[in-house]
C-alpha cells in the first residue's frame, strides 16, 4: 500500500529557517534507509506559505488568497510517498524519522486511495476522464 | 558517528522517537521486519553459514520480544539487536566444534571482538554501506548453483524479510511446503558451498544477473501466475518491485538493473486493469486505461529514460521495459506505436532467439502490419520450433484467426490453448473466447 507522509509546518519552517547541517545529514541518512529498503517513492520540501497561494472554492466563485497563512500547525512543510506493507510499517519508519524541526513537529500518515477503492461511484467514463487529465498533466508538467 | 561498543553498520545509527512501554505485537513485528534483513546482511560479513547467522538473529529477535514487551522499544533498535546477535554469534563460534574454522572466520572473529574504534577504521574501508551488505546477501540467496525454488524462497525470506506465513500466502501454498523449501534451500547452500565470497571483477556481472533473474521470477510469478486459481499474485509483484527498488538504489549505474525495475513498474501499473470482476484476464486492447496506475507509469518512464542515458538500449530487461513503455504512453490501444515495439522485438530476438520472443514479436507484426503477416510469422515459428504443446502459440494463432474472421479455426485453436493452459482464469478465458468464436461462426454461416 502507499501512504503520503505529511510533515507539518512550525514557526521556524514558516520563517524560512534553513535546517542545520546535522539535521540535513540525519535526514539524508533517513532517506537513504528508506531507499535501501525499497520504501521511498517520492519526497520533497515545500517553501514557506508566504511563497504560496490559496484558491477558495465556493459554488460558482473562486477567490485567490496570498500566503502567508495563519494556522501554522495545519500547514504542510514537506511530504513523502512511501510504499509499505501496512500501516504498522509506515508507523515504524515514521518513528525513525529524525525530528524534522526544532521543538515539536508532527508527521501525518495518510493512506493513498487505490483506483478500486472508489467502487462503483467511479464509472469507466469518470476514470477515463481522470486518466485523460493525468496524461495532459504528464505531457505539460513532467 | 559510531555508537560506542558496536561495530560499524550505518543502518543501525537510526534513533527513533521514544515509545511508551508495552508495545503491541504488531509494533514489534514492524521493527523486526525492517531489521531482520539488515542484521543478517551485516552478520554475514563474519560467517560462511547462513543458517548460523539466521539462528543467531532469531535468538536476538526472541530476546527483544521478551525484553521490549515490558521495557519498550529502545531508541536504537537495530543497534540493540545487532549487539545481542553479535554476542550470540561470538559465543557460538567460540563453542563451535566444527573443524571447518577457516582462517577467514578467525580473522573476522577477531575483528568482531576488537574494541570499536579499531574495528571501525577497518570496517569503514572494507564495507562502508549497508547497501553493500544487502547486495552481498542477495549474491548468496540468488546464487545460480541453487535451485530456482531455493533462490526465490531464500531471497523472500532473508532479503525481503517475509515471514514463512506471508510467503505461503503469496504463493497460495501451505506453510509446511514453504518450511520444507527453506530447509532444502539451506541444505543446498551447504552442499553447493555457497558463501559470502565477494566476487572478482569478472564474476560480478554474472552474480548481478542471477540476482536480477530471481527478482524477475518473483515479479513474473505475481504478474502472471503459472498455475492456480488466480491470474495474478499481487503480493509477489509488490515484493518484486520492492527488491527491484532496493537493487536499483544500490546499483544505480547499471542499465539492466534500471531496465528491470522500469519493466516491473510499468507492467505492474496494469495489474488492476488486467483482470475483470470475475478474475478473468482482460487483453491489452480491451483494458480500461483509466485503471492504469499513473504513479508507477511515471516512475517507470523516468527510470527508462535514465537507463537509456547510461547506455544504448540493447539489454534484455531494458528492451522489454521500452516495449512496456510504448504501451504505457499510448492514450488508447489505437495510438500504440507498434513500429517501435516491433523494432525492440527484433533487437530482443537477436539477444535471445527463442520461440517465446518470436511469438511475442509475431503479435507485434500482426498489429504493426496485419494479422495475415502475423500468421506467416507463426508458420515460420512452427517450422523452426516444436510449439505444439505451448498454449501461447495456439492462443496467438487463435487471436490472429479471429481477427481475420476465420472463426471456426479460431475456436479450434482457442480450445487447443485452453486444454494446455495451467492457469485457471487463463483457461476459462480461452474457453470463453472459443465459445464466442463458435457463436460468431454460427451467426456467419446462418
Residue B101 has, within 13 A of its CA and on its CB side, a CA count of: 13
Please give the full DSSP string across B236-304, using - where no structure is assigned: HHHHHHHHHHHHHHH-TT-HHHHHHHHHHHHHHTTTTTTB-TTS-B--GGG--GGGS-HHHHHHHHHHH
- The yes-or-no verdict on residue B99 having pLDDT over 90 is no
Residues A81 and A94 in one domain: yes
Work out the average pLDDT over B300-328.
96
**Does residue B259 contact residue B317 with C-beta atoms inside 8 Å?**
yes
Residues A104 and A118 in one domain: no
Residues A12 and A40 in one domain: yes
Q: Which residues of B touch A91 (CB under 8 A)?
A: 27, 30
Terminal CA-to-CA distance of chain B, rounded, Å?
Answer: 83
Q: What is the CATH number of the domain that holds A104?
A: 3.30.70.1060
Rg from Cα positions in chain A:
18
pLDDT one-digit tens code per residue, B13-32: 556 665 566 888 889 999 99
pLDDT one-digit tens code per residue, B44-62: 888 878 888 999 999 999 9
Total count of residues recorded for chain A: 142
pLDDT attached to residue B184: 94
pLDDT bin (cut points 50, 70, 90) of residue B4 is very low
Distance CA B79, CA B81 (A): 5
Residues A81 and A136 in one domain: no
Residues A126 and A104 in one domain: no
Q: Nearest-CA distance from A66 to chain B in Å? A: 30
Q: Residues with Cβ < 8 Å from B135, sequence gap 6 or more?
A: B211, B247, B250, B251
Residues A37 and A99 in one domain: yes
Residues A32 and A47 in one domain: yes
Residues A86 and A98 in one domain: yes
Select the residue of B17, B238, B272 nearest A116 (Cβ to Cβ): B272
Residue carrying the nine cell digits 574504534: B117
pLDDT one-digit tens code per residue, B236-260: 999 999 999 999 999 999 999 999 9
> Which residue, A7, A53, A135, A9, is CA-closest to B298?
A135
pLDDT attached to residue B358: 97
Q: Which residues of B touch A142 (CB under 8 A)?
A: 298, 301-302
- The yes-or-no verdict on residue B8 having pLDDT over 80 is no
B143 CB neighbour count, 10 Å cutoff: 21
Q: Does A83 sit within 8 Å of B17, measured CB to CB?
A: no
pLDDT bin (cut points 50, 70, 90) of residue A17 is confident
- Residues of chain A whose beta carbon is less than 8 angstroms from a beta carbon of chain B are 2, 29-30, 33, 35-41, 81, 83, 85-86, 88-89, 91-93, 95-99, 114-116, 124, 126-132, 134-135, 138, 142
Range of the domain at A120: 114-142
Q: Which of A5, A23, A36, A86 to mutate to test the interface with B (most CBs of B within 10 A)?
A: A36
Residues A77 and A63 in one domain: yes
pLDDT one-digit tens code per residue, A91-134: 999 999 998 776 788 999 999 987 656 555 545 555 566 666 66
Q: Does A99 sit within 8 Å of B288, measured CB to CB?
A: no
Residue carrying the nine cell digits 531471497: B155
pLDDT attached to residue A20: 87
The angle subtended at Cα B205 by Cα B203 and Cα B207, nearest 5°, is: 70
Q: Quote the distance between the C-alpha of residue A44 and its chain's center.
A: 8
Instruction: Classify B91 as helix, strand or coil.
Output: helix
Residues A42 and A79 in one domain: yes
**Does residue A109 contact residue A87 with C-beta atoms inside 8 Å?**
yes
Please give the model's pTM, rounded to 2 decimal places: 0.85
Select the residue of A37, A88, A98 nearest B27 (Cβ to Cβ): A88
> Cα–Cα distances in Å, from B354 out to B216, B316, B396, B434?
18, 13, 16, 27
Q: Does B26 sit within 8 Å of A36, measured CB to CB?
A: no
Q: Which residues of B touch A2 (CB under 8 A)?
A: 295
**Does residue B369 contact residue B341 with C-beta atoms inside 8 Å?**
no
In this predicted complex, what is the ipTM? 0.78
Distance CA A19, CA A99 (A): 11
Q: Nearest-CA distance from B446 to chain A in Å? A: 35
Residues A103 and A139 in one domain: no
Q: Which residues of A touch B238 (CB under 8 A)?
A: 83, 85
- The yes-or-no verdict on residue B103 having pLDDT over 90 is no
- The yes-or-no verdict on residue B119 having pLDDT over 50 is no
Helix (H) or strand (E) holding A109: strand A107-111
Report the domain count for chain A.
2
pLDDT one-digit tens code per residue, B271-281: 999 999 888 99
Instruction: Classify B52 as helix, strand or coil.
Output: helix
Residues A24 and A52 in one domain: yes
Pairwise pLDDT comparison (B172 vs B254), residue with the higher score:
B254
Helix (H) or strand (E) holding A2: strand A2-8
User: In this structure, what is the dihedral angle of CA atoms B297, B300, B303, B307, given to the nearest 10 degrees?
Assistant: -130
Q: Does B15 sit within 8 Å of A98, measured CB to CB?
A: yes
pLDDT bin (cut points 50, 70, 90) of residue B194 is confident
Amino acid at each position: 500500500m502507499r501512504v503520503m507522509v505529511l510533515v507539518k509546518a512550525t514557526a521556524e519552517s514558516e520563517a524560512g529557517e534553513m535546517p542545520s547541517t546535522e539535521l540535513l545529514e540525519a535526514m539524508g541518512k533517513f532517506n537513504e534507509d528508506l531507499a535501501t529498503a525499497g520504501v521511498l517513492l517520492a519526497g520533497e520540501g515545500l517553501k514557506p506559505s508566504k511563497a504560496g497561494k490559496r484558491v477558495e472554492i465556493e459554488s460558482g466563485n473562486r477567490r485567490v488568497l496570498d500566503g502567508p497563512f495563519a494556522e501554522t500547525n495545519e500547514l504542510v512543510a514537506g511530504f513523502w510517498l512511501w510504499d509499505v506493507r501496512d500501516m504498522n510499517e509506515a508507523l515504524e519508519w515514521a518513528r525513525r524519522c529524525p525530528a524534522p524541526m526544532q521543538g515539536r513537529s508532527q508527521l501525518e500518515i495518510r493512506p493513498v486511495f487505490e483506483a478500486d477503492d472508489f467502487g462503483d461511484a467511479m464509472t469507466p467514463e469518470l476514470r477515463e476522464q481522470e486518466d485523460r487529465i493525468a496524461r495532459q498533466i504528464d505531457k505539460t508538467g513532467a | 558517528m559510531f555508537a560506542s561498543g558496536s561495530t560499524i553498520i550505518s543502518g543501525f545509527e537510526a534513533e527513533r522517537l521514544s515509545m511508551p512501554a508495552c508495545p503491541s505485537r504488531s509494533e514489534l513485528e514492524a521493527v523486526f521486519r525492517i531489521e531482520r534483513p539488515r542484521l543478517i546482511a551485516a552478520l554475514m560479513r563474519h560467517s560462511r553459514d547462513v543458517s548460523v547467522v539466521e539462528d543467531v538473529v532469531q535468538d536476538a529477535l526472541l530476546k527483544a520480544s521478551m525484553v521490549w514487551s515490558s521495557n519498550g522499544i529502545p531508541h536504537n533498535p537495530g543497534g540493540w539487536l545487532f549487539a545481542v546477535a553479535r554476542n550470540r554469534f561470538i559465543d557460538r563460534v567460540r563453542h563451535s566444534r566444527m573443524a571447518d574454522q577457516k582462517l577467514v572466520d578467525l580473522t573476522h572473529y577477531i575483528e568482531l571482538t576488537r574494541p570499536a574504534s579499531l574495528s571501525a577504521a577497518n570496517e569503514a574501508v572494507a564495507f562502508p554501506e549497508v547497501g553493500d551488505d544487502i547486495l552481498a546477501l542477495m549474491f548468496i540467496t540468488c546464487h545460480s548453483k541453487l535451485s530456482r525454488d531455493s533462490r526465490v524462497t531464500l531471497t523472500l525470506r532473508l532479503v525481503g524479510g517475509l515471514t514463512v506465513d506471508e510467503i505461503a500466502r503469496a504463493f497460495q501454498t501451505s506453510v509446511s511446503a514453504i518450511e520444507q523449501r527453506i530447509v532444502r534451500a539451506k541444505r543446498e547452500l551447504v552442499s553447493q558451498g555457497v558463501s559470502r565470497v565477494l566476487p572478482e571483477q569478472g564474476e560480478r556481472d554474472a552474480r548481478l544477473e542471477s540476482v536480477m533473474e530471481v527478482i524477475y521470477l518473483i515479479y513474473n510469478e505475481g504478474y502472471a501466475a503459472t498455475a492456480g486459481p488466480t491470474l495474478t499474485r499481487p503480493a509477489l509483484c509488490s515484493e518484486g518491485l520492492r527488491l527491484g527498488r532496493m537493487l536499483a538504489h544500490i546499483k544505480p549505474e547499471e542499465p539492466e538493473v534500471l531496465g528491470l525495475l522500469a519493466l516491473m513498474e510499468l507492467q505492474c501499473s496494469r495489474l488492476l486493469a488486467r483482470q475483470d470482476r470475475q478474475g478473468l484476464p482482460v487483453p491489452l486492447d480491451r483494458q480500461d486505461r483509466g485503471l492504469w496506475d499513473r504513479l508507477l507509469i511515471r516512475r517507470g518512464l523516468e527510470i527508462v529514460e535514465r537507463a537509456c542515458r547510461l547506455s544504448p538500449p540493447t539489454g534484455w530487461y531494458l528492451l522489454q521495459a521500452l516495449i512496456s513503455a510504448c504501451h504505457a504512453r499510448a492514450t488508447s490501444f489505437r495510438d500504440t506505436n507498434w513500429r517501435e515495439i516491433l523494432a525492440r522485438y527484433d533487437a530482443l530476438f537477436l539477444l535471445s532467439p527463442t520461440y517465446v520472443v518470436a511469438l511475442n514479436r509475431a503479435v507485434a507484426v500482426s498489429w504493426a502490419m496485419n494479422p495475415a503477416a502475423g500468421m506467416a510469422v507463426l508458420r515460420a515459428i512452427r517450422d523452426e520450433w516444436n510449439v505444439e504443446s505451448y498454449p501461447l502459440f495456439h492462443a496467438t494463432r487463435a487471436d490472429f484467426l479471429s481477427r481475420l474472421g476465420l472463426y471456426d479455426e479460431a475456436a479450434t485453436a482457442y480450445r487447443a490453448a485452453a486444454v494446455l493452459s495451467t492457469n485457471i482464469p487463463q483457461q476459462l478465458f480461452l474457453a470463453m473466447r472459443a465459445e464466442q468464436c463458435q457463436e460468431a461462426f454460427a451467426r456467419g454461416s446462418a
